[in-house]
Amino acid sequence: MEILVCVRRVPDTAENEIALNSAGSDIERDDLVYSINEWDNYAVEEALQIVAKAGGNVTVVTVGGEDDEEVLRREMAMGANHGVLITDDAFNGSDGKGIATILKAYVQKGKFDLILTGVQAEDGGAQVGGMLASLLDYPFASLVNSIEVLDGKKLKISREIAGGNREMNEIDLPCVLSIQTGINEPRYVGMRGIRQVASLEIPTFGTSELGIAANSVGDAAAKVKRTDYFVPALGKGAEMLQGSREENIVSLIGLLKAKGGLK
Amino acid sequence: MARIFAYIEHKGGVADDSAVELVAAAKDIDPAASPTAVVTGWGADLDAVCNALTASYAEVWKIANETLAYPNAELVRKALAEVVPHDSLVLVPHDHFGVDLAPGLSIQTNSTFVSDVVAIEALDGAFLKVVRQEYGGQVSTHVRCDVSSGAVVNLRPGSFKPLEGPPANGTVIDKSSEVGALTSGRRYLETVVAEAGDVDISKQAVLVSIGRGIQEKDNVGIAQELADAMGAAVSCSRPVVDAKWLEKSRQVGSSGQTVKPKVYMACGISGSFQHLAGLKGNPYIIAINKNPKAPIFQVADVGIVDDILEFLPELTTKIREL
E strand or H helix at B265: strand B263-267
Residue B95 scores a pLDDT above 80 = yes
Task: Kindly list the distances between the CA atom of residue A124 and the CA atoms of A15, B230, B260, B312, in Å, as whole numbers in the listed order.
Answer: 18, 40, 30, 34
Q: If one looks up domain B4-178 in CATH, what number appears?
A: 3.40.50.620
CA dihedral A132, A118, B140, A164 (to 10 degrees): 120
Confidence of residue A124 (pLDDT cuts 50, 70, 90): confident
Confidence of residue A237 (pLDDT cuts 50, 70, 90): confident
Residue B69 scores a pLDDT above 60 = yes
Q: Pick from A155, A1, A166, A46: which is nearest to B186 by CA?
A: A155
Give me the total of CB pairs closer than 8 Å, taking one residue from chain A and one from chain B: 272
Confidence of residue B106 (pLDDT cuts 50, 70, 90): very high
pLDDT of residue A234: 56
Confidence of residue A48 (pLDDT cuts 50, 70, 90): very high
- Pairing, β B89-93 against β B4-7: parallel
| Beta-carbon count within 10 A of A263 CB | 9
Which B residues 124-153 touch A at CB under 8 Å?
129, 132-146
Confidence of residue A135 (pLDDT cuts 50, 70, 90): very high
Residue B292 scores a pLDDT above 70 = yes
Contacts of residue A219, defined as CB under 8 A and 6 or more positions apart, other chains included, come to: A92, A93, A94, A225
Average pLDDT value for residue range A65-72: 95
| Beta-carbon count within 10 A of A45 CB | 21
Confidence of residue A17 (pLDDT cuts 50, 70, 90): confident
Of A18-22, A130-134, B3-7, B250-254, which range is least confident? A18-22
| Beta-carbon count within 10 A of A202 CB | 17
pLDDT over 90 percentage in chain A = 86
**How much is the mean pLDDT over chain B?**
96
* CB B2 within 8 Å of CB B34: no
Q: Give per-residue pLDDT as tens, A167-195.
A: 999 999 999 999 999 999 999 998 999 99
Average pLDDT value for residue range B189-202: 92
A161 contact residues in B (CB cutoff 8 A): 96-97, 191, 255
pLDDT of residue A18: 85
pLDDT of residue A233: 67
Asked if A248's CB is within 8 angstroms of B115's CB, the reply is: no
In chain B, domain spans: 4-178, 201-320
Q: Pick from B294, B288, B292, B276: which is nearest to B135 by CA?
A: B294
Quick one: closest CA in A to B156, which residue?
A: A125
Axis crossing angle, helix B308-320 with helix A245-258, rounded to the nearest 10: 60
Distance CA B243, CA B217 (A): 8
* CB A167 within 8 Å of CB A159: yes
- A2-221: CATH architecture: 3-Layer(aba) Sandwich (3.40)
pLDDT over 70 percentage in chain A = 99
Output the DSSP codes for B155-169. E-TTSSPPPP-----
Distance CA A35, CA A71 (A): 7
Distance CA B252, CA B278 (A): 5
B150 contact residues in A (CB cutoff 8 A): none
Confidence of residue A235 (pLDDT cuts 50, 70, 90): low
Distance CA A168, CA B96 (A): 14
Residue B279 scores a pLDDT above 90 = yes
Residue A252 scores a pLDDT above 60 = yes
Q: Which of B144, B191, B241 is nearest residue A182 as measured by Cβ atoms? A: B241
Which B residues 158-177 touch A at CB under 8 Å?
none
Average pLDDT value for residue range B210-229: 97
pLDDT of residue A152: 83
The interface predicted TM-score (ipTM) is 0.94
Q: Give per-residue pLDDT as tens, A220-231.
A: 999 999 999 998
Distance CA A201, CA A106 (A): 18
Residue B166 scores a pLDDT above 60 = yes
Axis crossing angle, helix B308-320 with helix B220-230, rounded to the nearest 10: 30
pLDDT of residue A230: 93
- Please tell me the pTM assigned to this model: 0.94
Beta bridge partners of A49: none
Distance CA B56, CA B22 (A): 10
A164 contact residues in B (CB cutoff 8 A): 194, 248-249, 251, 255-257
Q: Give per-residue pLDDT as tens, B35-47.
A: 999 999 999 999 9
Q: Pick from B142, B7, B108, B127: which is nearest to B63 by CA?
A: B7
Average pLDDT value for residue range B69-98: 97
Residue A128 scores a pLDDT above 90 = yes
E strand or H helix at B54: none
Residue B143 scores a pLDDT above 90 = yes
A103 contact residues in B (CB cutoff 8 A): none
Asked if A96's CB is within 8 angstroms of B187's CB, the reply is: no
Strands of the sheet with B89-93, listed across from one edge = A224-230, B139-146, B127-134, B112-124, B151-155, B89-93, B4-7, B36-41, B59-64, B171-174
Mutation target to probe the B interface, by most B beta carbons within 10 A, among A21, A25, A127, A230 is: A127
pLDDT over 90 percentage in chain B = 92
Q: Give per-residue pLDDT as tens, B239-274.
A: 999 999 999 999 999 989 999 999 999 999 999 989
A253 — phi, psi (to 5°)?
-60, -40
Q: If one looks up domain B201-320 in CATH, what number appears?
A: 3.40.50.1220
Q: Pick from B267, B277, B9: which is nearest to A163 by CA?
A: B277
Q: Helix (H, G, I), strand (E, B), or coil: what is residue B43?
A: helix
- Same fold: B4-178 with B201-320: yes
Asked if A259's CB is within 8 angstroms of B262's CB, the reply is: yes
* Residue that wins the pLDDT comparison between A121 and A14: A121
Asked if A261's CB is within 8 angstroms of B265's CB, the reply is: yes
Quick one: closest CA in B to A249, which residue?
A: B315
pLDDT of residue B56: 96
* CB B312 within 8 Å of CB B269: no
CA dihedral B77, A107, A150, A177 (to 10 degrees): -50
Cα angle vertex A39, ends A3, A217, to 5°?
70
Does the beta carbon of B284 lie under 8 angstroms from any beta carbon of chain A?
Answer: yes
Which B residues 33-52 touch A at CB under 8 Å?
none
Asked if B206's CB is within 8 angstroms of A260's CB, the reply is: yes
